[in-house]
Amino acid sequence: MCGIVCLFDAKQKTEILRPQVLEMSKKIRHRGPDWSGVFQDEKVVFSHERLAIVDPTSGKQPLFTKDGKVVLAVNGEIYNHRELKKNFRIMNFRPSLIVK
């Protein structure tokens, strides 16, 4: 099972809070030892520790829409993803290339 640590609606600068989020993420790294990803903006910091089950060579997170307006960190495998993708082409998420 993956591990996700999130800080939303930050009241301090996220540059100051980011090390704390990453330290918390280290404590759950055993839940997702295959890959780590992080996202940060002015109000949010989240980290994702990935446990690769179905496709260990892809699935980097966080996920971004093409326009970059929506960012997601998720846990779980979607086994019928090819079928679902046909119905949800409008979202068209792409994996993050950000690595901590």
Residues 6+ apart with CB under 8 A from 54: 77, 79
pTM (2 d.p.): 0.67
CB atoms within 10 A of CB 28: 15
Q: Is 6 a catalytic residue?
A: no
pLDDT at 99: 37
**Residue 76 in tokens:** 């779980």
Contacts of 89 (CB under 8 A, 6+ apart): none
Q: What pLDDT score was predicted for residue 25?
A: 93
Contact criterion met (CB below 8 Å) for 31 and 49? yes
What pLDDT does residue 89 have?
62
pLDDT at 10: 95
CB 37 within 8 A of CB 60: yes
Q: What is the pLDDT of residue 95?
A: 54
Distance between CA atoms of residues 2 and 17, nearest Å: 22
Which residue in 2, 21, 38, 63 is the catalytic one? Answer: 2
Residue scoring higher pLDDT (85 or 2): 2
3 near 34, Cβ under 8 Å? Answer: no
Each residue's pLDDT tens digit, 50-97: 887 766 677 778 888 888 888 888 777 677 777 877 776 655 555 544
